[in-house]
Amino acid sequence: MKPDDHIQYIKGVGPRRAQLFGKLGVYTIEDACWLLPRCYEDRSQVKLISQLEPGVIATVVGEIKQARVLTTRRRRRIFELTVADGSGAMTAKWFRFNTRYMSSLFKKGERIILSGTVETDPYGFFGGLQMLHPDYETLSRDEDELVHTGRIVPVYPTTEGFHQKALRSVMKRIVDEYSSKIADILPPEITHQYNLPPIDQAIQQVHFPDNSAGLELLEQGISPAHRRLVFEEFFLLELGLANRRRQLTQDRAGIAFKSTGELAHRLIKLLPFSLTTAQERVLNQIRQDMARPQPMNRLLQGDVGSGKTVVALFAMLGVVEAGYQAAIMAPTEILAEQHYLNLHPLLDELGVNTLLLKGDIKNQHKKTAYERIASGDVQLVIGTHAIIQHKVNFQRLGLAVIDEQHRFGVMQRANLIRKGYHPDVLVMTATPIPRTLALTVYGDLTMSVIDELPPGRQPVETRLYYDRHRSKVYSFINKQIKIGGQVYIVYPLVEESEKLNLKAATDMAAHLQWDIFPHLKIGLIHGRLNSQEKEQIMRDFKAQRLHILVATTVIEVGIDVPGASVMVIEHAERFGLAQLHQLRGRVGRGSEKSYCILLVHFPITEEAKLRLKAIVNTQDGFMIAEEDLKIRGPGEFLGTRQSGLPDLKVANIIRDASLLEAAREEAFALIKKDPTLSLPQHQPLKEALLRKWKHKLELVQIG
């Protein structure tokens, strides 16, 4: 059998266990080699029975003195072994067993090794010690073949119906028979430079390590064997990203945009502010990219309120001036509407035809909108997912801007890009991405960061209150409104849920209006309102006709009301760290001092405490993102829906950050030397790359 053969045909597996392996993400023999133990137990230290103490996990070697089936007074059957080693005796008991199998397995006079938790035996005659359901192996075979005891033992992730001992036995057979058949794909110069063991040795040692291997290094996943597997996984990931970047920058013809800059010059005169140094720097990077004859593929990061949209607007005007169309896709209707309300007056003044495209426009208007986009009459389209419907066709799409990219799935972004012929792509995010994550998820994108807020902005003061302090919060709201401030109060639900004891936006809006602030004007906004209702409420709030806006997380992104100075977040313990940071970013957009109040309800999980501590202690979005990554781990932080990348089975981008950097450097250097991996010595590497990435290579360009 070969490493890519199905796991079902391994001795001891079969169809049923193959299904169980499938639940663990294992389908082939090679997959099994990458199913690493989740932890290890040191069963190599053998103790005398006389040294055993109740409550301690121990390993003993002894002779079977007796093997029998007992029946208790309550007719419960027990299989019992009596084992002695010269220093004393003890019993081992099983309550679930097959009598014929157990009787044939254990013979009087045979030597046996047992590992388990030592307990007091209430019915024993030999010092009263026992082990219940211990792991065991008889020593009639060569002791070097021990699998479950007498060594450092791997403990695997498992699933219901697949017991640890059975899984371990199959894994031992696979590792022994097939690890030598796994191709060693890393170039020798790399393994030598980073002192990495051969792949077969690494697989053997990571699954069934020698007793001399350091248990602490194994447990932490940083043993030499682990390092080899981690490096290889990162290397294949970065090789795919390097290959994508090569294709984008060398192999694909794009549009070299040429514009006089007249529209940009006129826009500068219309804006009531000057661009920051960071905005100017990023805009120059984008313009240089767009002037090249290859498609731009750039990620624009900037904390909330840093001015990403105006940078994107300058880029879109350059495209329009060159005779092409631009589109900006936002994840929610309210954000698309805000973009339209903010940009439309400026674009009208500049003579640029703009259209807002949403899912809820009426059919007669839809047809007209589609015709205008297809004819090229509309130069700039602002919209939601409605832009990527199959009936929407652009005449000459030159630039696709994707706002708040983390809200879109990979295929949604791909669908927008396919609306043009290799258009330039600018993806924007106000959720800062930690460096290590950026090297994996956005490893083939050129990255720009707006690391400066507009002048005059004050940091938002974040305060934490418990529900019992609610009266203090209401008093503070009153004071802020008296001095001209406006307040957001955000709830996690629209209507009260029977399952979750959370305060709901609709109920609380009524309660606040009638019982708490009858002298103030309160509005309510949530995702279930239609577009006209949402637009009117936001206009009223912006025009200060409302003092308080009660909302759900529909206002998380894209809302810009300079007069709003207080953000109150109810049930803050239920929100993610990125959400809390985004919501806090809705205030502090004017020159006045602003506040974010976190109202917390018990009970609070330990993870929620860490989130709340992080948001109170720092304003820096990148520090918050790093903390969020540590708390949630890369898998949950990112989500497979977002990445379109191969899964990382072994590597951890937090723990293994230095190996990630090294693997990236080597992968990009190799692609530079052998762009298509056509050299004979790189053929195994090329095959592994295609297996690892499968159909995902085409998706990497859009993150």
Written as one string, the DSSP assignment of 77-117 is EEEEEEEE-SS-EEEEEESS--HHHHHHH--TT-EEEEEEE
Would you place residue 420 in the very low, low, confident or very high pLDDT band (cuts 50, 70, 90)? confident
Q: Between residues 567 and 241, which one has the greater pLDDT? A: 567
Would you place residue 701 in the very low, low, confident or very high pLDDT band (cuts 50, 70, 90)? very low
User: Pairing state of beta strands 380-383 and 354-357?
Assistant: parallel
User: Pairing state of beta strands 397-402 and 522-525?
Assistant: unpaired
Would you place residue 248 in the very low, low, confident or very high pLDDT band (cuts 50, 70, 90)? low
Find which of 101-115, 136-150, 246-260, 440-454 is predicted with most confidence, using mean pLDDT.
101-115
Q: How would CATH label the architecture of 262-450?
A: 3-Layer(aba) Sandwich (3.40)
**Domain spans in the chain, listed from the N-terminal domain onward:** 7-41+156-220, 46-150, 262-450, 461-618
Region at 353 (left for phi over 0; alpha for psi -120 to 50; beta for the rest)? beta
In this predicted structure, the answer to whether residue 640 has a pLDDT above a threshold of 50 is no
Would you place residue 702 in the very low, low, confident or very high pLDDT band (cuts 50, 70, 90)? very low
CA dist., res. 642 & res. 86, Å (int): 62
The 10s digit of each residue's pLDDT in 598-625 is 999 988 999 999 999 999 999 888 888 8
- In this chain, the answer to whether the domains covering 262-450 and 461-618 adopt an identical fold is yes
The 10s digit of each residue's pLDDT in 444-496 is 678 899 988 888 778 899 999 999 999 999 999 999 999 999 999 999 887 77
Give 8-43 as a 3 state SS string.
Answer: HHCCCCHHHHHHHHHHCCCCEHHHHHCCCCCEEEEC
In this predicted structure, the answer to whether residue 644 has a pLDDT above a threshold of 60 is no
Q: Which homologous superfamily is 461-618 in?
A: P-loop containing nucleotide triphosphate hydrolases (3.40.50.300)
- For 366, list phi and psi in degrees, rounded to 5: -60, -50
Q: Which homologous superfamily is 46-150 in?
A: Nucleic acid-binding proteins (2.40.50.140)
- What average pLDDT does the chain have? 87
